[in-house]
Amino acid sequence: MADKPRIKLPKEAAKGEVIQIKTLVSHVMESGQRKDAQGKTIPRKIINKFACEFNGKPVFACALEPAISANPYIQFDAKIDEAGTFKFSWTDDDGTVITAEEKIALKA
Amino acid sequence: MPVRYLGLAAVLAASVSVVTCASAQEAERKGIAAPPGHVFKTIISGYEFRSKETRALQDDDLENPGFLAVERAADAWKKAEGSAGKSCMSCHGEAETSMKGVGAAMPKWDDKLKKPVNLEQRINICRTENMKAEPWKFKSQELTDMTTFVRYQSHGMKVSVKTDGPMSPWFERGKQIYYTRYGQLDLACESCHERNNGKFMRADFLSQGQTNGFPTYRLRDQRLVPLHERFEGCMFDVRAEPFKPLSDEFIALELYVAWRGIGLPVETPSVRN
């Protein structure tokens, strides 16, 4: 499950431009409400939190609930005022955090 | 009484609007001209039978969850396994060049086994004979990922299978299975996908049952589904005892159905509901 998340955003943007950020992460998102063949409950395992920071400042964050399908896809917009780095993090129920970084430059 | 008539009129109006809606969908459904001798005039990918949202999900390489598998298998391609210490790459080199077109022409005749093999079987033959590794189980993530990855190298190429020579008895067998009614519901592949495609069966919008997008990411399963699992599912749905995945029956059927989609572009990894 430790696949690299897929992230798409432009390499550069003009000052003040609003860009679109798309993310897709590989995860089973087991709801905790299903039963296996033996009738035992399959333990819940979901990504419960997603967060995005830009140069250390929070841009977007959300809490994910068991109804979210596998391989959650999250898309949001951000206004770019300076060049910098986006940091993404997906927090799993078991405490592991999947992280990724993506740089963006200002158009000259 | 007038109230009841009113109610009936409303039902009629509603059903009429459903009909116009369905035929409007039909008009914009794109297909290609079928080769002479084909049962259809136009052959249409399952893509055209799905909703706008599902199609958008398939079209965007990032949003399409099937590409997670492509990326996973791209890593597995380079990983040496088994006692021979080989990876797929040791023999085949870069998949982008060596695997181009391979997935579009499966199932293919295997001289050694004296029967046609599909992509899953071909991958496992490589694993056991050349890599001296354990074969992957059918439906395992590894095998489906690799099948998707190899087939993705033929993305956009036309489906083309050989059905002549030693393949012809297999083709006939597949055709026979396609037209045989199975199960308590007494339905053949043909009942839904040939005679009634473009119509609703309860909430299920029937496609032509083309295989050009397999393995396909099914939103219902939230994972990639290989073709033989879908065959199995269809047989289960008509309350029949399904043939086993990778059995001779399903290989024959795979060959025949692939022939029915000759010329359609390979869409793997596609997204279906």
Which positions ≥6 away from B99 have C-beta within 8 Å?
A: B92, B150, B153, B154
pLDDT above 70 coverage of chain B, percent? 90
A73 contacts B63? CB cut-off 8 A = yes
CA atoms within 13 Å, Cβ hemisphere of B118? 29
State the Cα torsion B246-B249-B250-B256 to the nearest 10°: 140
pLDDT at position B1: 40
A6 contacts B71? CB cut-off 8 A = yes
pLDDT at position B9: 42
For residue A87, give the amino acid letter.
K
B61 three-state secondary structure = coil
For the stretch B128-171, pLDDT in tens is 988 888 899 999 988 999 999 999 999 989 999 888 889 999 99
For the stretch B245-272, pLDDT in tens is 999 999 999 999 999 999 889 998 999 9
As a whole number of angstroms, the distance between CA B170 and CA B172 comes to: 5
Q: In this complex, is the C-beta atom of B63 within 8 Å of any C-beta atom belonging to chain A?
A: yes
Give the mean pLDDT of chain B.
Answer: 85
pLDDT at position A2: 52
ipTM of the complex: 0.72
- Taking a C-beta distance cutoff of 8 angstroms, is the pair A91, A49 a contact? yes
Q: In this complex, is the C-beta atom of B218 within 8 Å of any C-beta atom belonging to chain A?
A: no
Read off the pLDDT band of B122 (50, 70, 90): very high
**Does B10 score more than 80 pLDDT?**
no
Read off the pLDDT band of B84 (50, 70, 90): confident
- Taking a C-beta distance cutoff of 8 angstroms, is the pair B164, B239 a contact? no
More confident residue, B71 or B7: B71
Query: What is the distance in angstroms between the Cα of B166 and the nearest Cα belonging to chain A?
Result: 42
Which positions ≥6 away from B12 have C-beta within 8 Å?
A: none
Evaluated on CA atoms B254, B252, B160, B99, the torsion sign reads positive
A22 contacts B65? CB cut-off 8 A = no
The annotated binding site of B for heme c is made up of 88, 91-92, 126, 189, 192-193, 234
pLDDT above 90 coverage of chain B, percent? 41
pLDDT tens digits in sequence order for chain A, 108 residues long:
456 888 988 888 888 889 999 999 988 888 888 898 899 999 999 999 999 999 989 999 999 998 888 889 999 999 988 889 999 999 999 889 999 998 998 887
A22 contacts B63? CB cut-off 8 A = yes
**Does B15 score more than 50 pLDDT?**
no
Candidate from B62, B67, B219 with C-beta closest to A22: B62
Find chain B residues with C-beta within 8 A of A29's C-beta: 222
Read off the pLDDT band of B95 (50, 70, 90): confident
As a whole number of angstroms, the distance between CA B255 and CA B176 comes to: 12
A26 contacts B72? CB cut-off 8 A = yes
pTM to 2 decimals? 0.81
Render B125-176 in DSSP notation, one character per residue.
HIIIIIS--PPPPTT-HHHHHHHHHHHHTTTTSBP----SGGGHHHHHHHHH
Instruction: Report the pLDDT averaged over residues B225-243.
Output: 93
Report the candidate in B172, B169, B177 with the shortest Cα–Cα distance to residue B249.
Answer: B177
Render A36-101 in DSSP notation, one character per residue.
-TTSPBPPPB-EEEEEEEETTEEEEEEE--TTSPSS-EEEEEEE-SS-EEEEEEEEETTS-EEEEE
Give phi and psi for A92, each to the nearest 5: -85, 160
Find chain B residues with C-beta within 8 A of A6's C-beta: 62, 67-68, 71
- Taking a C-beta distance cutoff of 8 angstroms, is the pair B71, B149 a contact? no
Q: How far is CA B180 from CA A76, B175, B176, B187, B209, in A?
A: 50, 9, 6, 8, 16
DSSP label of B180: S
pLDDT at position B93: 87
Find chain B residues with C-beta within 8 A of A100's C-beta: none
pLDDT at position B176: 93
B63 contacts A69? CB cut-off 8 A = no
Find chain A residues with C-beta within 8 A of B71's C-beta: 3-4, 6
pLDDT at position B8: 42
pLDDT at position B25: 54
More confident residue, A4 or B104: B104
Q: Is B234 a catalytic residue?
A: yes
B62 contacts A26? CB cut-off 8 A = no
Find chain A residues with C-beta within 8 A of B68's C-beta: 3, 6, 24, 26, 71
Query: What is the distance in angstroms between the Cα of B78 and the nearest Cα belonging to chain A?
Result: 15
pLDDT at position B29: 77
Q: Which of B234, B235, B253, B271 is catalytic?
A: B234
For the stretch B189-205, pLDDT in tens is 999 999 998 889 888 89
Give phi and psi for A3, each to the nearest 5: -80, 155
